[in-house]
Chains A and B, each alone.
Chain A
Amino acid sequence: MKKLGALALAFLKIGAFTFGGGYAMIALLEHEFVGQKQWIGQEEFLDMVAIAESTPGPIAINAATYIGYRTAGFVGAAAATLSVCLPSFVIIYIISRFFDAFLELRYVAAAFRGIQVCVVYLIGSAGLKLLKGLKKSWWNAAIVLGVTGAMISCSLLAVQFSSIFYILLCAGLGLAAELVRRLKNRKEDAK
């Protein structure tokens, strides 16, 4: 019970003080659960990060569910997930009540025209950072160029094509490539 309380409190704190989304949260989680509380070992923590990055959904939620379950079972997972969302839920709910009226103020509207440029810059630099982290291979280059080109063309031609299909298509391509590799190996073994 005491552990559950500490778990919820830790995730409340992390939810309230991490700016900039999931990746920023990883460092704080490590400090809290590997360094201070020592509830999770360094190696398992790295495995957890890899799983959180490779499964769908917000990274913070994935991490909270994993650490919560390892600390206090299902109840722990639920408590950690709810705790990590609660602060931003409350803050954004309050903001949402005033946002439209706020945007109509002259200086605020001007400020947001500047901020929109900044959003483009932030998304662009996040994309470039991820691009640098990808392994240099023909496969990755082909997918990045193909999908980026297709998305921009669709948007310029005003064709509706959901991003979900690109994700499913690329997942299918990955599986197909694996299948081809296996068939090739089998043929070589047969020789």
Chain B
Amino acid sequence: MIYLRLFLTFLKIGAVSFGGGYAMIPLISEAVVSNGWMSESEFVSFIAVAESTPGPIAVNMATFIGSAQGGFLGSLLATFGVILPAFLILLLVVALFRNLLNHRPVQAVLSGVRPCVVALILATALTMGLRTLFGLQTIHGGLTFHGRELLILAVLVGVSFGVKRWRGKKPSPVLLILLSAVMGIALYA
């Protein structure tokens, strides 16, 4: 049953994803692609929507995928599933173990999980980059240079560093998304 499947899938994602929205992207991407809920490219497009609308990225993704697969009830259940573990765990922590982080075993678990989460995010960016910029899906596929994509990336990197130099602060993600949308229209339409 799709409702139960949506709820359980997002419950699992909510229970194991440490470190917020970006760390959830590989988990959600695996679930979505293996269930055939969305294609890889649709998913990447939706990340941009989740990034440019307010609210937690994970909640946005759960709502969207739930709605696409199971209508209003589906989106409600997927969203509920992704927030439930965080809610229950935090309730337990704030009510009973506010000194949670001072315990040695907790510290030990986190010392492994922290670098792992960074690696998950970096690997996601690298595999997505190989696919988008060089058309490399698997080792058997050939390597091709996607010139227009590489150009867009070069402009984004240049603008980011330029703005950071000039104003001391990196430009907001929404601004970069708008800029690449304009470049996309100019290059592909």
Contacts and interface: CB of A to CB of B under 8 A. Distances in A.
Nearest to A132: B118
Say which size band chain B's interface belongs to: 35 or more
A115 interface: yes
A62 B55 contact: no
A64 B14 CA distance: 15
Interface of A: 15-23, 25, 47, 50-62, 65-66, 69-70, 74, 77-78, 81, 84-85, 87-89, 91-93, 95-97, 99-100, 103, 106-107, 109-128, 130-131, 134, 139-140, 143-148, 151-152, 155-158, 160, 162-164, 166-175, 177-178
A99 B47 CA distance: 13
B4 interface: no
A22 B117 CA distance: 15
Nearest to A89: B63
B32 interface: no
B168 interface: no
B85 A121 contact: no
Contact of A85 (B83, B120, B124, B136): B83
Nearest to B33: A160
A61 B91 CA distance: 11
B90 A66 contact: yes
Contacts of B82: 57-58
B55 A134 contact: no
Contacts of B105: 175, 178
B50 to A, nearest CB: 8
B3 interface: no
For A85, A87, A146, the residue with the greatest tally of chain B CB atoms inside 10 Å of its CB is A85
B112 A113 contact: no
Contact of A134 (B25, B115, B137): B115
A178 B106 CA distance: 10
Indicate the member of A85, A100, A116 with the most B CB atoms within 10 Å.
A116
A50 B112 CA distance: 16
Interface of A is mostly: helix
Contacts of A58: 14, 20-21, 24, 56-59, 82-83, 86
A59 B55 CA distance: 11
Contact of B119 (A62, A96, A148, A178): A148
Interface in B3-50: 12, 14-22, 24-27, 30, 34, 41-42, 44-50
Given A127-B118, A134-B118, A175-B105, A116 B132 contact: yes
B121 A126 contact: yes
Nearest to A155: B127
B139 A121 contact: no
A168 B16 contact: yes
A47 B99 CA distance: 9
Given A19-B54, A56-B15, A56-B86, A85 B59 contact: yes
Given A148-B126, A151-B120, A178-B104, A139 B111 contact: yes
